[in-house]
A and B are shown apart, each in its own frame.
Chain A
């Protein structure tokens, strides 16, 4: 697999962008089809390889204590404190009907900006960064049948194959 990126090119939680992001107008988390080569972070969800454009991810965090919020909507894992800032952490799997895998030392939290707040997304492990040319990305229809709402496309290159994740149905928790 490729380079380890967990601390590169990322915005630190203390970065002013984090605070500003909350004030910003809702930003499209993913814009597909993409019009140029795309650097994507690969990770596992329900043991399947998924990917997100690297620009969407503010930071990759190791697993930290997550406080359960009773009565929270489906898909909310709980609350975490990232250097003093409260972050709502989501677990996409139940919503996507993906199998659970217990949290372990490979578990990571991806920080993303939902447009309204900074949120964490639990993933099972991070596999590194891959570069995909537009020609290497296919629409989700290639999976056959009605494509799931959370799959924005299918990407493959010489080294790997993965599903491009559409975050919108996951971030929609209300």
Chain B
């Protein structure tokens, strides 16, 4: 790669990744349309433009494999949009494969994987035979209309093609004259386009050179539509719009493209104004890094401006982390101001100052909260980003195993921390594969039980408080909890005694245990669960949990619950053995008083019954080798609390001395010398320069299970 600096390189990667993501979304939509036997010229165009940008961009950064592949694809796409080739499902396959390769070339260019050289070669070889070229045809049809030869003369090949297609389809042709104020032409034109799109297709728009008003631009728009004139009028009517239908000539002329004797628009006047940008010309300039659709009209009527229309900036997420750290420190300052205010209130002489300090504190607090929320918002991206990749994976998997699947997505707009989204795609793809491979039955199997042959996978996302829930639900055969339990017993994950206490949910949770498989006995479950422990670990690393529920014969639902952000964590601040700790609320079910009468000893372990379920108890102080605080109050021992924690299938109550309350904290990693210490996710400043350790609920639950409730000091090192 030519040395363009790290920043430029980073920009290239994020830009290229955005293009790949956008492409895959467009292709999925296009695929749906093609499967209905339809086509969408605008979408094909979008794809063409994206590939074209990719070509220029990757050429600029010397990723030759990418630019080579883009170049060949561009040819194919150009044939498609000009009607020289037909969009078939075979072509769609090629396009999907190409986008997949784009992604892998990017990974290789980052140095994170091998170059898919053979696959690219293979794809390039297949490009030639995939598209059957089609004869143009229907050329004469255009000449039958009363079109200004000046207009026809400046149509691009593509526009001409679209015009032909529309006229052949017996659509009506309308001429719209619209006057726009120069200042707002972009938005006004977009609005009009949006209004016109459901009615038909805009073939072209050209500025009209009358130039009566220097502050306005008049455009002539050719619109092909099935709709009758008065219907079109009613939907597009505006004071600045004039609509007339372009009639057929009484008698057709002989030539399809009338030689234009008098060009109505001089080239200079038109500029890049109203036309589809000519993408084939001067590629290096066209391919400047900009995600924005080339916006026609920006440069209209002599106001040649290079000002970017885009209002967005790209920010390295580490910068946001830095800002968030500063907010965390400001929060500590706020705490100090609050204490100062308390102190001044206690002193009568300072009453006047107190009022002022209180007022300042409240204002400070309010703005700080706003700032925190603002930074968090910037970190948020819609889950749709990862869902589009998933849809592509589902399509591929369902073809591989020949099980048609319909993916129904809801809540793609749900927002979550950018860092979390990045880590979600692998676990989710895995769950999709499981659902298709093992959940959805074969066509015949489905027919036999009276289900539609096309399986359905619902991918739902929604926000629930400070958490985001993602559900993957299939309508397949479901999982038999008893079969899972039998396998868990066989593999020694549980005992008969314990099994007697387990509900269906707990039984299914064995699916997420490392090494779990039901393969040995129940073939209809074979493989299910394999790799789910990896899913659980990955989700757990993000501070999330994953669970399963199933109705035998009806389907399976996997549920992932994630925190909205990693930057801020809600914790319960608690005390055990005279030390302060923070328990992430995401891992907590609830905190209750410990009733000593409820505690029983089973095989040396303390347990209690909570809502009809047995809950193992762990004294947090003892787990850490501290003495519990056994102070007396009014002749009775101080009441203790049970913090009920669950991660996946594991669940336990941690007995603590005191609860200090809930707090939102900025979590910081422990130094390298303490990375090996088990049981802590990090630490945070609690104010007063005090540092509170944040507990790693998953690791502590594992310890609790292996150590039981013992007073011995656990191993100092992991």
Question: Interface on A for B, CB 8 Å cutoff?
Answer: 64-65, 67-74, 76, 78-81, 83-84, 86-88, 114, 116-119, 171, 173-174
Contacts and interface: CB of A to CB of B under 8 A. Distances in A.
Given A67-B579, A70-B625, 14 more contacts: A64-B689, A65-B690, A67-B580, A71-B678, A73-B673, A79-B693, A80-B691, A84-B329, A86-B668, A86-B691, A87-B671, A88-B673, A117-B672, A119-B671
Nearest to A75: B673
23 contacts: A67-B691, A70-B624, A70-B626, A70-B693, A71-B625, A71-B678, A71-B679, A71-B714, A76-B673, A76-B674, A78-B691, A79-B670, A79-B674, A79-B683, A79-B693, A80-B689, A80-B691, A81-B689, A84-B328, A87-B671, A88-B671, A117-B673, A173-B673
B325 interface: yes
B688 A174 contact: no
A95 to B, nearest CB: 13
A57 B579 CA distance: 30
Contacts of A64: 689
B623 to A, nearest CB: 8
Contacts of B683: 67, 79, 86
B685 A88 contact: no
B368 to A, nearest CB: 15
A70 B679 contact: yes
B716 A72 contact: yes
Contacts of A81: 685, 689-691
B668 A72 contact: no
Interface string B615-631: 00000000011100000
A73 B670 contact: no
B314 interface: no
Contacts of B690: 65, 67, 81
Contacts of B670: 69, 79, 86, 88
Nearest to B326: A84
Contacts of A173: 673
A110 B624 CA distance: 28
A138 B669 CA distance: 41
A2 B715 CA distance: 46
A84 B321 CA distance: 13
B629 to A, nearest CB: 15
Name, among A64, A69, A70, the residue most crowded by chain B CB atoms within 10 Å (CB to CB).
Answer: A70
A65 B691 contact: yes
A72 B689 contact: no
A72 B329 contact: no
Contacts of B677: 69-73
A72 to B, nearest CB: 6
A119 B673 contact: yes
Contacts of A174: 672-673, 676
Given A84-B328, A117-B673, A71 B716 contact: yes
A157 to B, nearest CB: 34
Contacts of A84: 325, 328-329, 332, 685
Contact of B674 (A65, A88, A118): A88
A117 B671 contact: yes
Nearest to B330: A84
Nearest to A19: B322
B680 to A, nearest CB: 7
Contacts of A79: 670, 674, 683, 691, 693
A173 B671 CA distance: 11
Interface in B136-172: none
Interface string B687-718: 01111110000000000000000000011111
Contacts of A83: 329
Interface of B: 325, 328-329, 332, 579-580, 624-626, 668-674, 676-680, 683, 685, 688-693, 714-718
A67 B680 CA distance: 13
B688 A116 contact: no
A15 B674 CA distance: 24
A114 B673 CA distance: 10
Contacts of B671: 86-88, 116-119
For the complex of A and B, list the 8 residue pairs with the smallest distance between their C-beta atoms, beginning with the closest.
Answer: A70-B624, A67-B691, A88-B671, A117-B671, A84-B329, A173-B673, A79-B691, A81-B685
A117 B674 CA distance: 11
Contacts of A78: 691
Contacts of A73: 673, 676-677, 716-717
A74 B673 CA distance: 11
B308 to A, nearest CB: 33
Contacts of B678: 71
A68 B328 contact: no
A171 B715 CA distance: 21
Contacts of A67: 579-580, 683, 690-693
Contacts of A86: 668-671, 683, 691
B144 to A, nearest CB: 72
Contacts of B332: 84
B692 A69 contact: no
Contacts of A76: 673-674
Contacts of B674: 69, 72, 76, 79, 88
Nearest to A172: B673
A67 B670 CA distance: 12
A107 B315 CA distance: 44
Contacts of B688: 65
Contacts of A69: 670, 674, 677, 680, 693
A118 B674 CA distance: 12
Contacts of B625: 70-71
Contacts of A119: 671, 673
Most chain B C-beta atoms within 10 Å of own C-beta, residue among A68, A80, A81, A174: A81
Which of B325, B671, B688 counts the most chain A CB atoms within 10 A?
B671
B689 A65 contact: yes
A80 B689 CA distance: 8
B716 A116 contact: no
A22 to B, nearest CB: 9
A111 B229 CA distance: 81
A118 B670 CA distance: 11
A174 B692 CA distance: 22
Q: Point out which of B325, B580, B625, B674 has the most chain A C-beta atoms below 10 A from its C-beta.
A: B674
A91 to B, nearest CB: 13
Contacts of A65: 688-691
Nearest to A83: B329
A72 B633 CA distance: 33
A173 B716 CA distance: 12
A86 to B, nearest CB: 5
Contacts of B673: 73, 76, 88, 114, 116-117, 119, 171, 173-174
A117 B673 CA distance: 8
A88 B624 CA distance: 18
Nearest to B718: A71
Nearest to A67: B691
A76 B670 CA distance: 13
A29 to B, nearest CB: 14
Nearest to B332: A84
Which of the listed residues B325, B673, B683, B689 has the most CB atoms from chain A within 10 Å of its own CB? B673
A78 B624 CA distance: 14
